[in-house]
Amino acid sequence: MYADFALVYDRLMAEVDYAAWARHYRDLLAANGVTEGAFVLEAACGTGSLTIPLAQHFRLLPSDLSEDMLSVAAAKARAAGLSLRFLRQDMRALSAHKLADALICGCDGVNYLLDDQALRDFFHSAHRVLKPGGVLAFDLSSRDKLSRVLGSGPQVLRETDICYIWENAWEEEGSLLHMSLAIFLREQDGRYVRINEEQTQRAYTEEELRSALQEEGFTKINCYGNYTTRKPAHNAQRLHITAIKE
């Protein structure tokens, strides 16, 4: 997963306001006592689009399992004039040179944990790398988004230099969305290169997340919807979770 996809991921996500996304994380952390300049880990950082604005305010240590994503992220950081150390590690087995004030996992990282054990492993790992009183903050696509919005049918994008056909299949048993993308990228000579990408995401309910967090020793768990600090509506497309290591 993500080998050739890393080359076009940012192009497909060009309309996402990562600066606003990062501001929301700053607000969530500040509300839980994490100040500017704090030592913050970032899990599943991908191509670093959230990393760059976060690194303007925190001592950030980003990581991801994909070498291809990390390569893109490191190049972005250099272009932004940032000296960041990127780690290749599984979000279910995080490590750092010291305990962190906070851990952020944005942009659907948790949706790629496809079973209960993987979710618990991540929360256990997060608990281990946080200092007492440290904050875990993450966001994920909601069940309504995966099952109804994305699972309702194919999506097509056509532009001058890139197009894709995105077909999805929702699996009620297991709450899984299987995604199949055929991406066509135009090269300088006018020919198109095809990139095929298969991914699966799992939807988690607020209740499932709360239960797993509590089992791993987290307290003061809050859930918000759609980049706000309000309780999520039944059709919220994104859930934002904060929890404290007791």
Residue of 88, 30, 22 lying closest to 61 (CA atoms):
88
For residue 7, what pLDDT is reported?
67
For residue 5, what pLDDT is reported?
73
What is the average pLDDT across 204-220?
98
For residue 4, what pLDDT is reported?
61
Whether the predicted pLDDT of 152 surpasses 90: no
What is the average pLDDT across 123-136?
98
pLDDT band for 94, please (50, 70, 90 cuts): very high
For residue 11, what pLDDT is reported?
76
Whether the predicted pLDDT of 1 surpasses 50: no
Residue of 58, 64, 109 lying closest to 86 (CA atoms):
64
Helix (H) or strand (E) holding 127: helix 116-129
pLDDT tens for residues 2-13? Answer: 446 776 787 778
Whether the predicted pLDDT of 41 surpasses 80: yes
Distance CA 121, CA 113 (A): 9
Contact (Cβ atoms closer than 8 angstroms) between residue 55 and residue 45: no
Distance CA 161, CA 78 (A): 26
Dump the DSSP string for 136-174. Answer: EEEEEE-HHIIIIIITTS-EEEE-SSEEEEEEEEEETTT
